[in-house]
Amino acid sequence: MDPEEFRRAGYAVVDWIADYWSTLGRRPVVSPDPPGAVAAALPPGPTAHGEPVDAVLADLDALIAPRLTHWQHPGFFGYFPANTSGPSVLGDLVSSGLGVQGMLWATGPACTELETVMMDWLAGLLDLPERFRSHTRGGGVIQDSASSATLVATLAALHRASGGRWREVGVDRRYRAYTSTHGHSSIEKAARIAGLGADGVRAVEVDPGSQAMRPEALRAAIEADRAAGDVPAIVVATIGTTSTTAVDPLPEIGAICAEYGIWLHVDAAYAGAAAVCPELRWSHAGLEHADSYCFDPHKWLLTGFDCDAFWVADRGELIEALTVMPEFLRNAATESGAVIDYRDWQVPLGRRFRALKLWFVLRWYGVEGLRAHVRRGVELAARFADRVRADDRFELAAPHPFSLVCFRLRSGDDVNAALLARVNGTGRVHLTHTRVDGAHTLRLAVGSPYTTEAHVDEAWELLRTGADELLAR
């Protein structure tokens, strides 16, 4: 495909996306088709000779688009938001066109330097502690996801706990990782990958009101492990847990980590974006105690997946844990010590030019544009929570400091599960569920720039009328 063919086909694909976004609100949020519908409609292999782009776009319309879960839909309220935006798509398009492999500074100087600067911009935007900025011993890097951020934090923590011997001798299974019972599943997965097994993870109990980690329970778990001869290596605290957006008390947790010499990683995958707004920065109090921190611009900051922003307070420790230097990657810039090679900050060797989409997003929206987006999500969630509060049949299951509301009918798990299925079955909205205090709980998370009061009100109407019918039985 020569550049002129690409230009023509590129316009057609841009049109396809613009039309998709324009018609999104009229599509069902989730496909009603059973498993296998797409696979059954596709031929067993590619043709011998090529087909035109138009043929692929026709199949995109006929086969693929109707069988998607539309994460950008204004009625998508499931999981956490994973919203992209026009500027993000454009930045990623430039990245795809450049096709730069940014594993080393030398293999893409601007790719590396723009990433360092964007991570500093983000640190400023969230008012993160100085220790994470690139002019200190710390610094930031883009990971694909918070899962990977937790993994590399765990590896660096093991390296530190071993006195630097881990990278040579392997992991000691007596090391222990701690998180709350509401910590993300990726924490157990990271511990498993790192060789600690599920047995190496301690789930610390939460306060029944706030759903946040109880510092005294953390201390007790650490003390019990030490008494048994085990070695506490890392605590993962959460700002905005996946179930309910609870905020673990970092000042107390940080003090305990400092006392015992334990690595503190803070996972703010979803709620980190809230810190662009000064009035929501209370959620990040105590972050100066953290050895590492991450949040996902690809969740609530209008940047397409994958873009997890991860910082460490001591980049030297991270690099020492992860670097491997074969001959074919040796180069003068690396050996000068004057550059960053981001391959040493992550699991894979290769890396895309992901800083471009951040650059496009931060510049197109500006600081106030991003704040307006976050505030809008908080307001819409509060609007929905008011509806829940005003209906005696429902209850809020947890505080809603950000853009997620956890709620349920006061009528038991089965009725709540039925209500969720009924509302999602309309195709107008999509919510997901969790368990809070053991009870089946519905979650409504706002994040799309296309979501308005009308969409939130429609969700509530569907829930209210669904409850009318279910409770009348």
Q: Report 67-106 residues binding a second copy (CB under 8 A).
A: 67-72, 78-79, 82-90, 92-94, 96-101, 105-106
Name the pairing type of β-strands 404-409 and 394-396. Answer: antiparallel
Element (H, E) at 251: helix 250-260
Chain residues 441-460 in contact with a second copy, contact rule CB under 8 A: 443
Dist. CA 118–CA 109, nearest whole Å = 14
CB 415 within 8 A of CB 443: no
Strands across the sheet containing 432-436: 394-396, 404-409, 439-445, 432-436
Q: Tell me the window of 219-227, 286-294, 330-338, 380-388 that interacts with a second copy (CB under 8 A).
A: 330-338
* Residue 228 binds a second copy (CB under 8 A): no
Beta carbon nearer to a second copy, 100 or 470: 100
- Site map (CB under 8 A) of a second copy, residues 157-176, x = contact: -x-------xxxxxx-x---
Residue 318 CB, shortest distance to a second copy, in Å, is 13
CA–centroid distance for 364 within its chain: 22
Q: What is the DSSP annotation of 60-115?
A: IIIIIGGGS--TTSTTB-SSS-----HHHHHHHHHHHHHT---SSSTT-HHHHHHH
* E strand intervals along 54-165: 139-143
- Per CB under 8 A, the list member of 365, 384, 402, 460 interacting with a second copy is 365
Q: Tell me the window of 198-206, 214-222, 407-415, 452-460 that interacts with a second copy (CB under 8 A).
A: 198-206
Residue 392 CB, shortest distance to a second copy, in Å, is 27
Residue 384 CB, shortest distance to a second copy, in Å, is 19
Report residue 292: phi and psi, to 5°: -155, 160
CB 402 within 8 A of CB 377: yes
- Per CB under 8 A, the list member of 180, 238, 243, 403 interacting with a second copy is 243
* Residue 292 binds a second copy (CB under 8 A): no
Q: Is 441 helix (H, G, I), strand (E, B) or coil?
A: strand
* Residue 242 binds a second copy (CB under 8 A): yes
Dist. CA 128–CA 142, nearest whole Å = 16
Chain residues 372-431 in contact with a second copy, contact rule CB under 8 A: none
CB 239 within 8 A of CB 266: yes
End-to-end, the C-alpha distance of the chain in Å comes to 62
Residue 328: DSSP 8-state: G
* Residue 7 binds a second copy (CB under 8 A): yes
Q: Is the peptide bond before 306 cis (omega within 30 degrees of 0)?
A: yes
Tokens of 14: 């841009």
Beta carbon nearer to a second copy, 256 or 309: 309
According to DSSP, the residues that pair with 433 across neighbouring strands are 442
* Residue 63 binds a second copy (CB under 8 A): yes
Beta carbon nearer to a second copy, 37 or 258: 37
* Residue 194 binds a second copy (CB under 8 A): yes
Question: CA nearest 450: which of 90, 81, 72?
Answer: 72
Q: Tell me the window of 31-39, 257-265, 380-388, 459-467 that interacts with a second copy (CB under 8 A).
A: 31-39
Name the pairing type of β-strands 139-143 and 175-180. Answer: unpaired
Q: Tell me the window of 322-330, 383-391, 408-416, 457-465 that interacts with a second copy (CB under 8 A).
A: 322-330
Beta carbon nearer to a second copy, 38 or 382: 38
Dist. CA 377–CA 53, nearest whole Å = 38
Tokens of 94: 């430039």
Chain residues 108-147 in contact with a second copy, contact rule CB under 8 A: 108-111, 113-114, 116-117, 120-121, 124-125, 144-145, 147
* Residue 471 binds a second copy (CB under 8 A): no
* Residue 62 binds a second copy (CB under 8 A): no
* Residue 58 binds a second copy (CB under 8 A): no
Chain residues 298-317 in contact with a second copy, contact rule CB under 8 A: 298, 304-306
Chain residues 345-364 in contact with a second copy, contact rule CB under 8 A: 347-352, 356, 359-360, 362-364
Residue 254 CB, shortest distance to a second copy, in Å, is 26
* Residue 185 binds a second copy (CB under 8 A): yes
Beta carbon nearer to a second copy, 190 or 256: 190
According to DSSP, the residues that pair with 430 across neighbouring strands are 76
Report residue 126: phi and psi, to 5°: -95, 0
Beta carbon nearer to a second copy, 215 or 244: 244
